[in-house]
Amino acid sequence: MRQLSPHDAAFLYSDSGHANANVSLLHIYDQSTAPGGKVRFKEILAHIENRLGSSPVFRQKLLQVPLNLDYPYWIEDEHFELEYHVRHIALPKPGDWRQFCILASRIHARPLDLSRPLWEMYVIEGLDQFQDLPKGSFALLTKIHHAAIDVEHGSEITMLLHDTTPTPPRPAPPEPWFPEATPGTLRLALRGLTGACLAPLRLAPPLFRAMAELLPTGIRVVRDMLFHPTRMPVTRFNSIVSPHRVFETRRFDLGELREIRGLAEGATTHDAVLAVCGGGLRRYLEINAELPAASLSAIAPIAIRSDKDDPDSAMEMSWVRVLLGTDLPDPVARLAFIRDQTRSSEAIHQAVGARELTDITRHAPAATLALTSKMLTRAVTDLGRRAPLANCTVTNVPGPSVPLYLNGARMTYFSAIMPISDGMGLVFAVTSYDGKLILSPTACRDQMPDPDLFAQCVRDSFQEYLALARPPQGKSNVTPLKRARRRSS
C-alpha cells in the first residue's frame, strides 16, 4: 500500500462534473508487419495480460481516507477484471481521420470509475481511410487519470506495452498475483489523524522560506489582477469549459523544425514549436476576428538549473509563462521574441518561484490541498475573462526514440489528448516518434467547433516558417536573421 503524492492528489481534487484530469495516449499501427498480416483482439488482450506486472498502475485503485484526513492510498483491486479495462470497438465506414478524432475525443471526455484502477484501453479497428497508412490499420487508445501517471514520463507506459522488434518474444509464464488485504477504516482514520497533526511541523520550514521568496511576486500578481485586469488579453479559450472535447493533430519533420529554429540565432527546437503554436493561434483568431492587440501567452516547460546559484547543477523542467508573440505579424520576429524569453533570467526566476510553491504542497495536509484546489478553481472561473494565468498550455509528452511494435504490428503514430479546465480551455500536446514531431491541440468543443480549421492554421504557420528557412534559389535568409537580431536588441 502506497500513498498518493501531494502532486498527484492535486489532479484528483481538480476533477469536476465538466472537466476531469484524464490523459489519453494514442498509438496507431500498421498490422501488415505482424505475422500473417493480422493482429486479433484476443492476441492483444493476452499480450496486455502478460504485461500487467510491469507497472503497479494496472491493478491498483484508490482508497480514500475517512473524512479526507490524509491523501488517498493506492491499494490492489481484489476484484480486478482485465476485460472491463480493455475494450474492442470499430469506426463506422468510411473510417476516416475525422471520425477517429471525434471518437477519441468522446472516449477521453468520459470520467473514469474512481472505484476501479484508473485506466482504460480501447482497441479501435476500421481505420481504413487514413492518409499514408494502409487500409486495415488499428489504434490503441490508453486513457489514464493524471493522478496515476506523470505526463513527463508517459513514454514508460508506451514502452512497457511494446517491443522493439516485429517478432514478439515468447511470453513468460504469468506470475501469480495475490492482492494485498485492504486496511480497515479505523486504521486509515488513525493514520490520517496522525498525519494531519504532524503536518504543521512539516509545513513550517518550506512555508517561511517560500513566503520570503514569493511575497514580492504575490503582491505584484494581486496588484495586477485588481488594478490592471485587462493587461492579460482574454480569448474564447479562457472561460468555463463544457464537458465535451475536440482533438486534432498535425505531424512535422523534426529536421525541418531544426531548420526553422535557425531563423533566430540561439533559438531551440522548443522555441520553434512555441512560435509555430503562436502563429497558428494568431491565424485562427484572425479568421474569427478575435485577435487581441496584445500578445497571448502559454504555460510551457523549460529546462532550468536545480540550483540557480550553481552553474554545474543538474537541469530539470519547470513551468513558466511565455508570451507567444501573437501581436507580431513578422514570424521571424516572433521566434526571436520567444527565444529571448526562454533564455531570460526573469523566466528562470518565475520557474524557481513555482518550484518553491510545490515544496509547500508537498507537505500540506490533504484537506488543505482539497480546499485550496476548490478555491483556485473558483478563482479561475471568476477571473477567467479578466485576468487568466495564460491563454493556453504547451506540454511535452516524450515519445519513444526507436520504432515500436505491438504483437508484430509497427507503431506509425503516437500522440496524446490532454486535460483542460475552466479558464484554460486549450492545450497543445507535443509528442515525438520516428523522426516526427506531432502537435495535437485539445480544446472544449463549444470553444473550438472547428478543430480541423485550427489544425490547418497550425500547419500554415509551420509552412510559413519553413518557406522563410528555405528561401528560393539565389536568395538568402540573411535579412530575416538580421531583422530578428534587431528586434531582440
Quote the Cα angle for 445-99-35, to 5°: 135
Residue 11 sits in which domain range?
A: 2-186
Residues 96 and 44 grouped into a single domain: yes
Residues 179 and 222 grouped into a single domain: no
What span, in angstroms and rounded, lies between the C-alpha atoms of 72 and 67?
A: 11
Q: Check whether 101 has a pLDDT greater than 90.
A: yes
Residues 26 and 173 grouped into a single domain: yes
Residues 362 and 482 grouped into a single domain: yes
The whole-number average pLDDT for the span 431-447 is 95
Provide the pLDDT confidence category of residue 377 given band limits of 50, 70 and 90. Answer: very low
Domain assignment present for 195:
no
Q: Check whether 372 has a pLDDT greater than 60.
A: no
CA dist 48 → 120, 142, 260, 322, 462 (Å):
12, 12, 40, 40, 38
pLDDT tens digit sequence for 406-427 = 999 999 999 999 999 999 999 9
Closest to 272 in 3D by CA, of 335, 230, 208, 206: 335
Q: Check whether 174 has a pLDDT greater than 90.
A: no
Residues 360 and 475 grouped into a single domain: yes
Provide the pLDDT confidence category of residue 69 given band limits of 50, 70 and 90. Answer: confident
Q: Which tops the pLDDT comparison, 329 or 159?
A: 329
The whole-number average pLDDT for the span 213-233 is 52
pLDDT tens digit sequence for 9-62 = 888 888 999 999 999 999 999 999 999 999 999 999 999 999 998 888 999 999
pLDDT for the residue numbered 167 = 87
Q: Which tops the pLDDT comparison, 127 or 376?
A: 127
Give the H/E segment covering residue 314.
none
The whole-number average pLDDT for the span 272-283 is 98
CB atoms within 10 A of CB 418: 24
Domain assignment present for 191:
no
Q: Check whether 364 has a pLDDT greater than 60.
A: no
Q: Which tops the pLDDT comparison, 316 or 351?
A: 316
How large a percentage of the chain has pLDDT more than 90?
A: 55
Residues 320 and 364 grouped into a single domain: yes
Q: Which tops the pLDDT comparison, 473 or 167?
A: 167
Provide the pLDDT confidence category of residue 170 given band limits of 50, 70 and 90. Answer: confident
Q: Point out the domain boundary residue: 133, 151, 186.
A: 186
Closest to 183 in 3D by CA, of 69, 64, 71, 79: 64
pLDDT tens digit sequence for 457-478 = 999 999 999 999 997 765 555 4
Q: Check whether 442 has a pLDDT greater than 80.
A: yes
Residues 178 and 284 grouped into a single domain: no
Q: What is the mean pLDDT of the chain?
A: 81
Provide the pLDDT confidence category of residue 374 given band limits of 50, 70 and 90. Answer: very low
Domain count, the chain: 2
Q: Check whether 480 has a pLDDT greater than 80.
A: no
What span, in angstroms and rounded, lies between the C-alpha atoms of 315 and 376?
A: 29
Q: Which residue has the cell 473558483?
A: 378
Q: Which tops the pLDDT comparison, 367 or 19?
A: 19
Provide the pLDDT confidence category of residue 362 given band limits of 50, 70 and 90. Answer: very low
pLDDT for the residue numbered 227 = 44
56: CATH: 3.30.559.10
Provide the pLDDT confidence category of residue 371 given band limits of 50, 70 and 90. Answer: very low
314: CATH: 3.30.559
Provide the pLDDT confidence category of residue 213 given band limits of 50, 70 and 90. Answer: very low
Domain assignment present for 193:
no
Give the H/E segment covering residue 242.
none
Q: Check whether 359 has a pLDDT greater than 60.
A: no
Domain assignment present for 413:
no
Q: Which of 97-106, 163-172, 223-232, 431-440 has the lowest mean pLDDT?
A: 223-232
Domain assignment present for 232:
yes
Q: Check whether 381 has a pLDDT greater than 50.
A: no
Q: Which residue has the cell 483568431?
A: 285
Closest to 97 in 3D by CA, of 400, 456, 380: 456
Q: Which tops the pLDDT comparison, 171 or 35?
A: 35
Q: CB–CB of 112/143 below 8 Å?
A: yes
Residues 292 and 175 grouped into a single domain: no
Report the sign of the C-alpha dihedral through residues 84, 90, 92, 95, in that order.
Answer: positive
pLDDT for the residue numbered 469 = 96
pLDDT for the residue numbered 192 = 57
What span, in angstroms and rounded, lies between the C-alpha atoms of 261 and 282?
A: 19
pLDDT for the residue numbered 257 = 96
Domain assignment present for 416:
no
pLDDT for the residue numbered 7 = 81
Domain assignment present for 418:
no
pLDDT for the residue numbered 185 = 65
pLDDT for the residue numbered 212 = 44
pLDDT for the residue numbered 424 = 92
Q: Which residue has the cell 530539470?
A: 316
What span, in angstroms and rounded, lies between the C-alpha atoms of 487 and 54?
A: 51
What span, in angstroms and rounded, lies between the C-alpha atoms of 460 and 454?
A: 10
Residues 139 and 178 grouped into a single domain: yes
Residues 27 and 103 grouped into a single domain: yes
Q: Point out the domain boundary residue: 135, 151, 186.
A: 186
Q: Point out the domain boundary residue: 186, 213, 232.
A: 186
pLDDT tens digit sequence for 286-330 = 999 999 999 999 999 877 655 666 666 666 667 889 999 999 999
Q: Check whether 338 has a pLDDT greater than 80.
A: yes
Residues 145 and 225 grouped into a single domain: no
pTM metric for this prediction: 0.83
Q: Check whether 347 has a pLDDT greater than 60.
A: no
